[in-house]
Copies of this chain bind each other. A is one copy, B any other.
Amino acid sequence: MADAVRTPHRQPVEIAGLSHHFVVGGAEVPALDRIDLTIEPGEFVTLAGPSGCGKTTLLRLLAGFMRPSEGTVSVAGEPVRGPSEERGVVFQQATLFPWLSVRRNVELGLRLRKVDKAEREERTRQHLELVGLTDFADHRPYELSGGMQQRCQIARVLANDPDIVLMDEPFGALDALTRERLQEELLEIWRATGKTVLFITHSVDEAVFLGSRVLVMSPRPGRIVLDESAVLTENGERAAPDHLRALPRFVELREAVREAIVAGQQPA
């Protein structure tokens, strides 16, 4: 428990026959409909889809915040029974703790796991720097701007070094420049550590740019309508970001994703 960087497990995330509905005023509101999905360890899965189609619901089921109405979710062969430190979550609405300073929020996971002080401070410093909040380390979350809160949350999850990172529109509140920088940092971390990532985004471009695999969901009830590998290679290597967007496959995939989203939204 006390070592901060752990070797990630080599087992997939398996979702089988997953359906979920909410009960609102006695009536059932379907959110997910019979989803089967296996995420291999080390994959960077991006998930797009129209607003309200069930992306967050899927992520919360994976995280173990809720139990599915039907079907199963398991990680490394074990059914998910609740939240766990191996599955870090960046929430769509930042859930920072107002009673802790920004620094304390970021180092919380390390503290909880009793990582020793020197390492804790080093990792916290690193991650505050990563998201550009070094100067705001002693502020309280409610003294930050919306984008800064979101960045703080990202730092908190990454500092805790989970095997699986579940991110719900993490870069939605960021300006283009910060967003690009963080996208690259995230890719960097992913490449270095081999983490499994599920990344929800509204930006088709971002989905295709970041993902090693791109999923699109259709709304009401949520089904996966597109599932494409997106490992874009250039001369057998993963393409450099600058070149990536110019690849014909990139443009092609982006078009496919956009169309899937539009198609999914049509009947609604």
* Residues of A that sit less than 8 Å from B by CB: 22, 24-25, 29, 48-52, 55-57, 92-93, 132, 136, 138-140, 143-148, 151, 168-169, 172-179, 202-204, 258, 261-262, 265, 268
Contact = CB atoms under 8 A, between A and B. Distances in A.
Nearest to A146: B92
A172 B170 CA distance: 11
Given A50-B175, A176-B204, A176-B258, A22 B169 contact: no
Contact of A202 (B48, B93, B173, B262): B173
Contact of A178 (B25, B29, B51): B51
Nearest to A176: B204
Identical chains bound together, number = 2
B178 A173 contact: no
Nearest to A203: B176
B265 A145 contact: no
Contacts of A140: 24
9 contacts: A49-B175, A50-B177, A51-B145, A51-B178, A56-B146, A147-B202, A172-B172, A176-B204, A177-B265
